[in-house]
Amino acid sequence: MKGGGCRVAFIEWSKCVDHERDAGTDFTEECREKTMALRRCMMQYEEYYKPLLEEEEEMMAEQTLVTPDTAETPGVAASGTATKTENA
């Protein structure tokens, strides 16, 4: 990430995240603007950052598979089926 057209945006985002983690605060909230700036930059250089953007899309798709009902139910996988420990 320190290469390519978004080098500066990444460094600023990384500093923000490190600072907020050290402070024990929610970096996702506190660094929202820097995160959005980094994302916009990555979209401008989409060809260069394509592997990272695709990975992010996959992670977001996986998160949508986990519904609140299954995420909070112990022993139930995202598919809604029981896990081995529940069947034992």
Q: Is residue 44 part of a domain?
A: yes
In a domain, 16, yes or no: yes
pLDDT band per the 50, 70, 90 thresholds, residue 5: very high
Following CA atoms 12, 31, 39, 1 in sequence, which dihedral angle do they give, to the nearest 10 degrees?
40
Of 53, 36, 43, nearest in space to 5 by CA: 43
Q: How many domains does the chain have?
A: 1
Residue 53 domain-assigned (yes or no): yes
Whether residue 2 is contained in a domain is answered as no
**pTM of the complete model:** 0.65
For the record, the structure tokens of 83 come out as 């896990």
| pLDDT tens per residue, range 14-36 | 999 999 999 999 999 999 999 99
Structural domain includes residue 1: no
Q: Could you tell me if residue 20 is inside a domain? A: yes
Domain of 52, in residue numbers = 7-87
